[in-house]
Amino acid sequence: MKIILSGVKPTGIPTLGNYLGALRNFGKFQEKMKDYEFFIFVADLHAITTPQDPLELKQNIRNVAALYLACGLKPENLTLFIQSEVHEHAEMAYIMQALVYMGELERMTQYKDKVLKQTQGVSSALFTYPALMAADILLYDAKFVPVGDDQRQHLELARDLAIRFNNRFGKTFTVPEGLIQEKGARIKDLQDPTKKMDKSTDNDRGCIFLLEPLSQIRKKIKAAVTDSDACVRFDPEQKPGIANLMTIYSVITEKSFGEIEAMYDGKGYGDFKSDLAEIVVKEIAMIQERYHYFVSSQELTTLLDEGRLRAHQLAQKKLKTVYQKMGLGR
Ligand code: ATP
Ligand code: LTN
């Protein structure tokens, strides 16, 4: 059995970045890779590495689960579950903490960036976050892990830990590989195209949330920061704002940058942004409609119940093997 696994943190409403870099691809990979089983989960244990309001967290967990289906995942070949409902994740994370070196965790750029933003009360779980992520992946022997570009370093660490464990204790884990799309893996903030679009942002104006009113989405796209050149050309160095908008356009419509440049040759940014706003709104309207159906459906509850059982079955077996190999217990 071959497994593809990924997760999204319920730290807020997922963004257009989460959609183009991750959520949208899950369903696409499912269509292409029919002989794989998909393990997709809501990473709620990861969410509490930064402060969360309990009521909002619970709501966000259900929202993310519903959005997976709304964004195109199909129930066939799917194990959909909530991380904290499979207690082996926390246990395996402890094993990974025993395996990972301080120096390796200290090099993680996501941790360094988050600490810069949150100077007070940084939790130690934020520091050990990549050990939990490695645990998520290695518990199921996932072969492929579809994620956005910001997770590259964490994935590399998960690979290193799999190899380290296998060398020390004998072949136990599959060494995972990332599935990172060339386009859309790093969507930028609409107000500051040097930063990634982030759902835990201070400035909502630069971020498109999948569940926000469509009229607001139109406004945000029209107000996106560009440059004074007024020429639709893909140049991420000189024109990061336009390059980001062109990337969004290109991923959704599957048109190449060359085609988009030709379409807007001689036209200003106004036409381009208006068209892009309609393209994004059409896509998100479809997601919202499906989301409203799934979020309160019994179908979702049943899928999560079945997913918990299936994930627990595999995770339990793997954890037992790991304990045995390490000499833990009797
Ligand atoms: P937070 O802001 O709370 O750190 P996040 O959105 O960065 O959250 P996740 O919710 O766990 O983190 O991300 C889910 C998936 O979306 C991951 O695969 C991640 O790589 C991808 N992703 C996140 N932001 C972007 C972005 N701006 N562009 C493309 N992919 C993204
Ligand atoms: N850290 C990831 C979310 C995540 C994940 C995983 C992704 C947690 N565990 C396992 C893939 C596989 C993020 O995107 N912030």
The 10s digit of each residue's pLDDT in 52-82 is: 999 999 999 999 999 999 999 999 999 999 9
CA of 11 to the centre of ligand 2 (A): 12
Q: How confident is the model at residue 307 (pLDDT cuts 50, 70, 90)?
A: very high
Residue 1 has what pLDDT?
81
pLDDT band at 120 (very low <50, low <70, confident <90, very high): confident
What mean pLDDT is predicted for residues 100-109? 97
- Residues near ligand 2 (Cβ within 6 A): 5-7, 9, 43, 46, 133, 136-137, 145, 147, 151, 154
Span 251-259, mean pLDDT?
A: 97
- 74: Cβ–Cβ under 8 A, 6 or more apart, which residues? 27, 30
38, 30 in Cβ contact below 8 A?
yes
Burial class (CB in 10 A: 0-12, 13-18, 19+), 329: exposed
Q: Is residue 318 annotated as a catalytic residue, yes or no?
A: no
Judged by average pLDDT, the poorest of 154-158, 228-232, 238-242 is 228-232
Q: Please, where in the chain does CATH 3.40.50.620 lie?
A: 3-180+297-326
The closest-lying atom of ligand 1 relative to the alpha carbon of residue 151 is 20
Predicted confidence (pLDDT) per residue in 167-182, tens digit: 999 999 999 999 999 9
In this prediction, residue 173 carries a pLDDT of 98
CB 300 within 8 A of CB 68: no
How sure is the predictor about 39, in pLDDT bands with cuts at 50, 70 and 90? very high
Residue 276 has pLDDT above 80, yes or no: yes
Pocket residues for ligand 1 (CB within 6 Å)? 8-9, 11, 17-18, 20-22, 43, 147-148, 150-151, 185-187, 196-200
* pTM for this model (two decimals): 0.97
Letter string b/e over residues 93-129, b meaning 16 or more CB atoms within 10 A of that residue's CB = bebbbebbeeebbeebeebeebeeeeeeeeeeebbbb
Q: Which homologous superfamily is 3-180+297-326 in?
A: HUPs (3.40.50.620)
Once rounded to an integer, what is the mean pLDDT over residues 266-293? Answer: 97
Report the separation in Å between the CA atom of 53 and the middle of ligand 1, taken as the mean of its atom positions.
Answer: 20
| Distance, CA of 144 to CA of 38 (rounded, Å) | 10
Q: Which of 143, 199, 239, 318 is catalytic?
A: 199
Tell me which residue has its CA closest to atom 9 in ligand 2: 133
Q: Does the domain at residues 204-291 carry the CATH identifier 1.10.240.10?
A: yes
Looking at residues 211-234, what average pLDDT do you find?
96
